[in-house]
């Protein structure tokens, strides 16, 4: 989409450290890796905004009007969402998220910026190389997918990776062009559950899901229990609460909660929680905690803290 004119949004798209551009009907807000979230001074007239929306709809070859008030589209580097003013009463809503096909996180910068300690990086590297199952939690915008992408650098080259996403953000096949990988993008005909089932017939070593969010958790745990390894993200308030979050995703009450929790603790090995601190100096993202899950000899569920941001490595 390099030949599409994004108008006043273009400068922000070109700025490497900007991750998100949002328009709320009268203001442009920016998410910046170093500066945090802030409003910019650029002003767009109602005509400019409407013109942009309809030009983009034509370019994407999608309908956007009263009957089709939501438009979702993506490119190799952007995910774009438009909401029509027929339902967005504050005015047209525009969201542009950058999904770069490269790594934003590197070991030296992680350590220098206090995102993680050297000992923690080495610990996480060892867990990936041992093919442990890892879930990354945190609120929207803290960089869960970026950490996922970083952890994939430790996957052994001979191991086959299948990514499953609704919007392409992991970019494993682009970042690791010499490694064996398959990219699956779900649609209205194939959902996450279908894609996970299909992956099991594709000699998969690693499943990389953009996010665990619903009933696909049933197939996911089953896939992992048969020998596939997992790295994914999840919305949870802490790493300690990841098992409970997974429990709530199970449909109905097909089996007792204790049996479901047993499967979760038996399957998921490591939980990582990311947080961010926004101040006048900018934004600092960091790993708040790392925990492991296991079942002890008395069949009790145990969550063990391995790392805390304020203390460092609690246990190796």
CA distances from 49 to 55, 169, 215 (A): 10, 26, 38
Cα–Cα distances (Å) from 155 to 80, 124, 206, in that order, read 30, 11, 9
pLDDT digits (tens, 9 = 90+) for 258-304: 889 999 999 999 999 999 887 766 788 999 999 999 999 999 999 99
DSSP characters over 286-306: EEEEEEEEEE-TTS-EEEEEE
Give the tokens for residue 199. 């992956």
Q: Where are the alpha helices (DSSP H) in 61-143?
A: 107-112, 118-129
Tens of pLDDT along 145-166? 999 999 999 999 999 999 999 9
- For the chain, give every domain's residue range: 7-98, 107-313
Domain 7-98 and domain 107-313 have a common topology? no
- Measured CA to CA, the distance from residue 290 to residue 125 in angstroms comes to 13
pLDDT at 253: 54
Report the alpha-carbon distance of residue 238 to residue 303 in Å, rounded: 12
- Which 3 state secondary structure label does DSSP give 216? coil
Q: What is the pLDDT of residues 35-63, one digit of tens each?
A: 888 999 988 999 999 999 999 999 999 99
> How far apart are the C-alpha atoms of 209 and 234, rounded to whole Å?
10
State the average pLDDT over residues 83-104.
94
Chain centroid to CA 48: 32
Give Cα separations from 216 to 33, 184, 194 (angstroms).
31, 15, 9
pLDDT band at 141 (very low <50, low <70, confident <90, very high): confident
Q: Using DSSP, state whether 122 is helix, strand or coil.
A: helix
Closest CA to 131 of 275, 26, 230: 230
Residue carrying the six token digits 């049996």 = 259
Distance from C-alpha of 90 to C-alpha of 24, rounded to nearest angstrom: 7
Task: Give the C-alpha separation, 135 to 242, whole Å.
Answer: 8
212-259 confidence digits (pLDDT tens): 998 899 999 999 988 999 999 999 999 999 999 999 998 775 556 888
Query: Which CATH architecture describes the domain 7-98?
Result: 2-Layer Sandwich (3.30)
Helix crossing, 192-199 with 217-225: angle to 10°? 10
Predicted pLDDT of residue 258: 87
Residues 153, 154, 157, 162, Cα dihedral to 10°: -70
Cβ neighbours of residue 173 under 8 Å, at least 6 residues apart? Answer: 163, 181, 182, 183
Whole-Å CA distances, 107 to 111, 113, 151, 205, 232: 6, 10, 10, 25, 20
Residue 153's closest CA among 214, 103, 88, 193?
Answer: 103
For the entire predicted model, the pTM comes to: 0.89
CATH architecture of residue range(s) 107-313: 3-Layer(aba) Sandwich (3.40)
Mean of the per-residue pLDDT values of the chain: 92
Question: In this structure, are residues 192 and 249 in contact, taking their beta carbons and an 8 Å threshold?
Answer: no
What's the start-to-end Cα distance of the chain, in Å? Answer: 47
């Amino acid at each position: 989409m390099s030949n599409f004119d994004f108008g006043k949004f273009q400068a922000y798209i070109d700025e490497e450290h900007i991750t998100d551009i949002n328009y709320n009907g009268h203001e442009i807000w920016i998410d910046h890796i170093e500066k945090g979230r802030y409003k910019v001074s650029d002003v767009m007239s109602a005509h400019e905004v409407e013109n942009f929306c309809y030009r983009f709809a034509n370019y994407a070859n999608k309908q956007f009007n009263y009957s089709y008030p939501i438009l979702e589209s993506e490119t190799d580097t952007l995910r774009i969402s438009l909401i029509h003013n027929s339902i967005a009463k504050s005015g047209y809503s525009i969201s542009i998220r950058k999904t770069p096909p490269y790594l934003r996180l590197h070991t030296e910068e992680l350590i220098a910026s206090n995102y993680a300690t050297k000992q923690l990086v080495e610990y996480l590297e060892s867990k990936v190389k041992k093919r442990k199952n890892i879930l990354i939690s945190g609120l929207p915008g803290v960089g869960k997918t970026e950490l996922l992408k970083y952890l994939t650098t430790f996957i052994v080259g001979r191991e086959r990776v299948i990514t499953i996403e609704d919007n392409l953000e992991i970019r494993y096949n682009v970042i690791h062009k010499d490694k064996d990988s398959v990219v699956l993008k779900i649609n209205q005909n194939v959902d996450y559950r279908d894609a996970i089932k299909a992956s099991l017939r594709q000699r998969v070593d690693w499943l990389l899901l953009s996010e665990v969010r619903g009933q696909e958790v049933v197939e996911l745990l089953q896939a992992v229990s048969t020998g596939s390894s997992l790295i994914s993200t999840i919305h949870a308030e802490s790493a300690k609460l990841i098992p409970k979050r997974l429990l709530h995703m199970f449909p109905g009450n097909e089996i007792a909660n204790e049996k479901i929790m047993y499967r979760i603790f038996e399957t998921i090995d490591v939980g990582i929680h990311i947080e961010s601190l926004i101040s006048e100096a900018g934004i600092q993202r960091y790993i708040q905690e790392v925990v492991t899950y296991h079942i002890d000899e008395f069949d009790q569920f145990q969550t063990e803290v391995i790392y805390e941001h304020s203390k460092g490595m609690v246990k190796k």
